[in-house]
Structure formats: structure tokens, C-alpha cells
């Protein structure tokens, strides 16, 4: 079998639409074109990231509408039907993201732009499943002849990076997005990849995020477009651009082990810009501005992985952004299975994640692997108040942890 081809194309700084279109075309040509995938009359689901505001391109959070438009134009010029569809994170109103970004204008000018949250739900079986025998998604996902993942390139507070594979969570119902965190995020996301099997990815790495991505990270302008038909290989290359070793990225490691692509350097052919020329070390989420408050303690066990470490850190940043740090003094957050000093009052302890042994979970336990940040925030606040959901469509009661 030949190597998986991944193209890297450099655009102009702060590129306009013609420059983006040119870069997308070049990235596609460098991987040998897409005529094998996109045929006249076929239904092509373009799946950008609409995770949450901020929506401004230079914040590097959601897939820039111009990148999606360039891909949609190319698909339609090939005689296929391009449908732009996605759902934002749990608690985030996708329509607000559409309105605040260029996607609303695309819709007005005739592009099909669909908020999946408003569509029916169906179950899709997962071949070779590890966590989910089937996943809850939407009819469009099953009906599409081709699925194209259009991610941003970012570091992530739970999975080291987010790119072509992780962004597919936007194809799930909110219920299953939550369940991913509770039942096992890494194998669960790879189940999702196995179920929907996108045939192509084009990465918007123009403005990216480092540190506490996928929403609160620091913007980084990279001016890159990448393309490839093996999503695992593309994510591995994006990881290497951000200066992660292939073995540091759990999702690509697991996906490769399950035969869904390759993450091995020797099995990937990079075409276009040489990797060395575009590599830039991205701040890891764990290195981003920690929150320190007197009287608040955080104890990680030896077994605690980056999932819970980053989740707790991200929850603390959420609290800082929501002016809720006053709830921290007197609280001890525990992950994994550490020895807890005897002087720590039991009622002050918030335990996080399924690695905490059952006998140590106590009253304020947040289940999940890793759990969602907002539930960690709520457990810290307890009866004293409500976790604020940034950009939420409802309050926490409407998205209760299942
Ligand atoms: S529950 Fe355990 S395995 Fe899961 S993210 Fe937390 S520490 Fe890692």
C-alpha cells in the first residue's frame, strides 16, 4: 500500500477569499485531486467546526466561512451538491454561531447551511466499536455520499490537539456529545470516526489556537491549508506542525491501532511546504495561564492523564472568565487515585473522573472520562450558585449530566 498523502500549502498573511480559494485548490491538487470522490449529482456533506463563539476569523476558534465556501464552490463546480452542516457544542446555539460568522451570509446567498441540532436524529452502527455500539447522529450524515471534515487546527484542553477527527463530534446529537465525555472520550471519538468515515479533510490552519483550545486558546496566525484523504495522517501531520510527537496524540494513536489510517511518519508523504518550514511549537493546554487562588487545592493522582488535568484547568479558566473564582477557596479538587491528606475536610472535596475509586467519590463527584468542564464548575460551586455557560442556549438544568 502507498503512503498517505498530506498536502501543506502556505497562503498570504490575512488572506482574502481569492487567496484562500487558490490555496484550497492547490492543496487538493497536491493530493492528486478529488475526482475519485466527488462525482456529479452526489450529496457532499461539508462539516466545518462551529464549536462556540468567538466567531471572528482571527480568534481561530471556528472554521473560517471563506474556507468552507471555497470547498463548497469547488464541489459544486464538479457537479455535486454541497451541504454545509454541523452542530455547535452542548449548550451552544448553532444558529447564533451561524449568524455571528460569515455562514449566515453564505446561507443568504444561496448556500445550503444546516444546523444539525434542528434536524431529526438517527442511530448509526459503529463497525469494530469499543465504547458505542451505535451513535446518535442525523439522517444527513447517513445519506451523504461523501463527508468532508473541515476542521481548525488547535491545541485542545482534553485531547492534546483537535483537528479532523475530534471535530467530528459536531455530527453527534448533544446527548451523545455528553455521553462521549462520560463513557470514554478517546475511544468514543474513534468510534465516531469509524461510524461516519469521512473520505476527505481540508484543514483551516490560517488562524489557529494554542494553549487552552478549543475555545479559550490564544490565537496564532499560521496561514496554512492542509488536505488529505486519510484523516489520521492529516491529524498526525497537524500535530507535528504544532510540535507534538506522533505518540503524544492519543486519538491518532488509537485510530491507527484500529486500522482507520496511519499516524506513522514513515507511512505519510508530505507534499507542498516542507514540514520543517512551517513547524511552530504550540503552547500546550497545560502550560496556559494557570488559575491560582489561595485556599483552593488541586490534587492529581499518579494515574491522572491529560484528559482530567486539562479538564480541570479549563474549568478553572471558565470560572475566571465568568467572574466565579470566589467559589474556589475551601475547595479541593481530586482526580485519579491520590492519597488525600487527612486534614482535608471530606465535604470540601470534589472528585473528578471515573478513575477515582468508587469508595472515594463522595457527595461531590463528577463522572466522566474526562467529564465536561461545566459539570466540574457546578460541582465546585455546589449549592452556592450556578455555573455560567458561556454562550449557552439555556441554563445548566436543561443539559443535566446523564
Ligand atoms: S477519568 Fe481517568 S482516564 Fe479518564 S480522563 Fe480522567 S484521568 Fe484520564
Q: Which residues are bridge partners to 350 per DSSP?
A: 333
Average pLDDT over residues 205-221: 94
Residues 130 and 49 in one domain: yes
- Separation between Cα atoms, residue 304 and residue 335, nearest integer Å: 6
Q: Do 333 and 241 share a structural domain?
A: no
Quick check: CB of 354 below 6 Å from ligand 1?
yes
Pocket lining: 184 vs ligand 1, CB cutoff 6 Å? no
Compute CA distances 162 → 165, 183, 313, 329, 397, whole Å. 7, 19, 17, 32, 28
Nearest protein CA to atom 8 of ligand 1, as residue:
305
Encode burial over 343-367: b for 16+ CB neighbours within 10 A, e otherwise: eeeeebbbbbbbbbeeeebeebbbb
d(CA 381, CA 313): 15
| CB 123 near ligand 1, within 6 Å | no
Instruction: Select from 258, 214, 257, 167 the least CA-distant residue to 61.
Output: 214
Looking at the CA of residue 368, tell me the nearest atom of ligand 1: 1
Whole-number Å distance, alpha carbon 306 to ligand 1 midpoint, is: 8
- As for how many domains the chain has, the answer is 2
Q: Are residues 305 and 221 in the same domain?
A: no
- Regarding whether 279 and 295 lie in a shared domain, the answer is no
* Domain edge (last residue) among 284, 317, 334: 284
Which residue range(s) make up the domain with 306?
Answer: 289-399
Q: Residue 60: give its domain's CATH number.
A: 3.40.50.11440
- Estimate the crossing angle of helix 185-196 against helix 174-183, to 10 degrees: 130
Per-residue confidence (pLDDT) for residue 116, from 0 to 100: 98
Q: What is the CA radius of gyration of the chain?
A: 21
Cβ 213 under 6 angstroms from ligand 1 = no
Q: Who contacts 61 (Cβ-Cβ below 8 Å, separation ≥6)?
A: 49, 51, 52, 53, 54, 55, 152, 154, 209, 214, 215, 217
For ligand 1, mutation pick of 180, 182, 300, 353 (most atoms within 8 Å of CB):
353
- Report whether pLDDT(394) > 60: no
CA of 353 to the centre of ligand 1 (A): 6
Same domain, 334 and 273: no
In angstroms, how far is CA 287 from the centroid of its own chain?
Answer: 19
Q: Band of the pLDDT at 82, cuts 50, 70, 90?
A: very high
State the closest ligand 1 atom to the C-alpha of 306, by its place in the atom list counted from 1.
8
For ligand 1, say whether the CB of 155 is within 6 Å of any of its atoms. no
My answer on whether 76 and 126 are in the same domain is yes
Does residue 261 share a domain with residue 160? Answer: yes
Residue 267 and residue 295 in one domain: no
- DSSP-derived 3-state class of residue 270: strand
Residue of 299, 369, 371, 373 to test ligand 1 pocket, by largest number of atoms within 8 Å of CB = 369
**Residue-wise pLDDT tens digits, 255-288:** 999 999 999 999 999 999 999 999 999 999 888 8
The residue with greater pLDDT, 388 or 69, is 69
- Report whether residue 177 contacts ligand 1, using a CB cutoff of 6 Å: no
Among residues 254, 284, 314, the one where a domain terminates is 284
Name the strand (E) or helix (H) holding 66.
helix 65-77
Q: What is the pLDDT of residue 277?
A: 98
Share the mean pLDDT of the chain.
93
d(CA 305, CA 296): 21
pLDDT (0 to 100) of residue 389: 66
pLDDT in tens, 295-322: 999 999 888 876 788 789 889 988 998 9
99 shares a domain with 13: yes
| 78 pocket-lining for ligand 1 (C-beta < 6 Å) | no
CA 285 to ligand 1 centroid distance, Å: 16
- Name the domain boundary from 238, 267, 284: 284
Quote the CA–CA distance of 376 and 217 in Å, as a whole number: 19
84 or 2: which leads in pLDDT = 84
Residues 192 and 302 grouped into a single domain: no
- pLDDT tens-digit map of 29-74: 999 999 999 999 999 999 999 998 899 999 999 999 999 999 999 9
Q: Quick one: pLDDT at residue 390?
A: 55
pLDDT band for position 1 (cuts 50, 70, 90) = low
Per-residue pLDDT tens over the stretch 323-350: 999 999 999 999 999 999 999 999 999 9
Residue that wins the pLDDT comparison between 392 and 252: 252
Indicate if the pLDDT at residue 183 is higher than 50: yes
User: What band does 401 get if pLDDT is binned at 50, 70 and 90?
Assistant: very low
Buried b (16+ CB within 10 A) or exposed e, 297-308: bbbbbeebbbbb
Please, which pLDDT band fits residue 396 given cuts at 50, 70 and 90? very low
Give the pLDDT confidence score for residue 91 in this predicted structure: 79
The count of other CB atoms within 10 Å of the CB of residue 122 is 16
Does any ligand 1 atom lie closer than 6 A to the CB of residue 353?
A: yes
Q: Using CA atoms, how far apart are residues 89 and 181, in angstroms rounded to an integer? A: 12
Residue 307 CB–ligand 1 contact under 6 Å: yes
For ligand 1, whether the C-beta of 301 sits within 6 Å is: no
pTM: 0.86
By the 10 Å C-beta count (0-12 exposed, 13-18 middle, 19+ buried), 315 is classed as: buried
91-135 per-position pLDDT tens digit: 789 999 999 999 999 999 999 999 999 999 999 999 999 999 999
Roughly what angle, to the nearest 10 degrees, separates helices 65-77 and 17-30? 60
Say yes or no: CB of residue 30 within 6 Å of ligand 1.
no
Percent of the chain with pLDDT over 70: 96
Residue nearest to atom 4 of ligand 1 (CA): 369
Q: Do 279 and 296 have their domain in common?
A: no
SS3 for 123?
strand
Residues 173 and 132 in one domain: yes
Confidence class for position 398, pLDDT limits 50, 70, 90: very low
pLDDT > 90? residue 181: no
304 CB within 6 A, ligand 1: yes
- Range list of H helices, 78-165: 94-100, 103-108, 139-143
Amino acid at each position: 500500500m502507498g503512503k498517505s498523502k498530506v498536502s501543506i500549502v502556505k497562503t498570504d498573511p490575512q488572506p482574502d477569499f481569492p487567496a484562500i480559494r487558490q490555496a484550497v485548490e492547490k492543496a487538493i491538487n497536491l493530493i492528486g485531486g478529488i475526482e475519485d470522490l466527488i462525482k456529479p449529482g452526489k450529496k457532499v456533506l461539508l462539516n466545518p467546526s462551529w464549536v462556540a463563539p468567538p466567531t471572528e476569523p482571527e480568534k481561530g476558534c471556528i472554521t473560517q466561512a471563506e474556507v468552507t465556501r471555497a470547498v463548497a464552490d469547488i464541489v459544486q463546480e464538479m457537479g455535486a451538491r454541497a451541504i454545509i452542516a454541523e452542530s455547535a457544542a452542548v449548550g451552544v446555539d448553532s444558529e447564533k454561531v451561524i449568524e455571528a460568522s460569515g455562514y449566515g451570509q453564505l446561507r443568504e446567498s444561496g448556500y445550503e447551511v444546516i444546523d444539525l441540532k434542528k434536524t431529526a436524529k438517527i442511530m448509526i452502527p459503529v463497525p469494530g466499536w469499543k465504547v458505542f455500539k451505535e451513535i446518535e447522529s442525523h439522517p444527513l450524515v447517513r445519506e451523504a455520499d461523501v463527508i468532508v471534515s473541515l476542521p481548525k487546527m488547535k491545541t485542545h484542553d482534553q485531547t492534546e490537539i483537535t483537528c479532523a477527527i475530534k471535530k467530528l463530534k459536531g455530527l453527534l446529537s448533544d446527548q451523545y456529545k455528553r455521553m462521549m465525555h462520560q463513557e470514554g472520550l478517546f475511544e468514543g471519538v474513534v468510534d465516531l470516526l469509524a461510524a461516519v468515515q469521512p473520505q476527505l479533510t481540508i484543514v483551516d490552519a490560517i488562524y489557529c489556537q494554542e494553549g487552552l483550545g478549543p475555545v479559550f486558546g490564544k490565537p496564532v496566525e499560521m496561514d496554512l491549508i492542509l488536505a488529505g484523504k486519510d484523516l489520521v495522517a492529516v491529524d498526525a501531520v497537524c500535530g507535528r506542525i504544532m510540535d507534538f510527537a506522533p505518540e503524544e496524540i492519543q486519538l491518532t494513536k488509537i485510530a491507527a491501532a484500529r486500522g482507520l489510517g496511519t499516524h506513522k511518519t514513515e507511512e505519510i508523504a508530505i507534499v507542498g511546504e516542507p514540514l520543517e518550514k512551517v513547524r511552530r511549537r504550540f503552547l500546550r493546554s497545560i502550560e496556559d495561564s494557570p488559575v491560582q487562588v489561595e485556599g483552593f487545592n488541586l490534587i492529581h493522582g499518579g494515574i491522572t492523564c491529560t484528559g482530567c488535568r486539562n479538564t480541570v484547568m479549563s474549568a478553572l479558566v471558565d470560572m475566571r472568565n465568568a467572574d466565579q473564582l470566589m467559589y474556589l477557596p475551601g475547595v479541593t479538587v481530586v482526580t485519579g487515585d491520590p492519597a488525600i491528606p487527612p486534614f482535608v475536610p471530606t465535604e470540601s472535596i470534589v472528585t473528578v473522573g471515573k478513575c477515582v475509586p468508587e469508595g472515594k467519590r463522595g457527595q461531590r463527584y463528577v463522572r466522566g472520562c474526562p467529564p465536561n468542564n461545566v459539570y466540574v464548575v457546578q460541582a465546585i460551586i455546589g449549592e452556592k450558585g450556578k455555573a455560567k455557560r458561556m454562550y449557552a442556549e439555556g441554563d445548566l438544568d436543561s443539559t443535566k449530566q446523564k
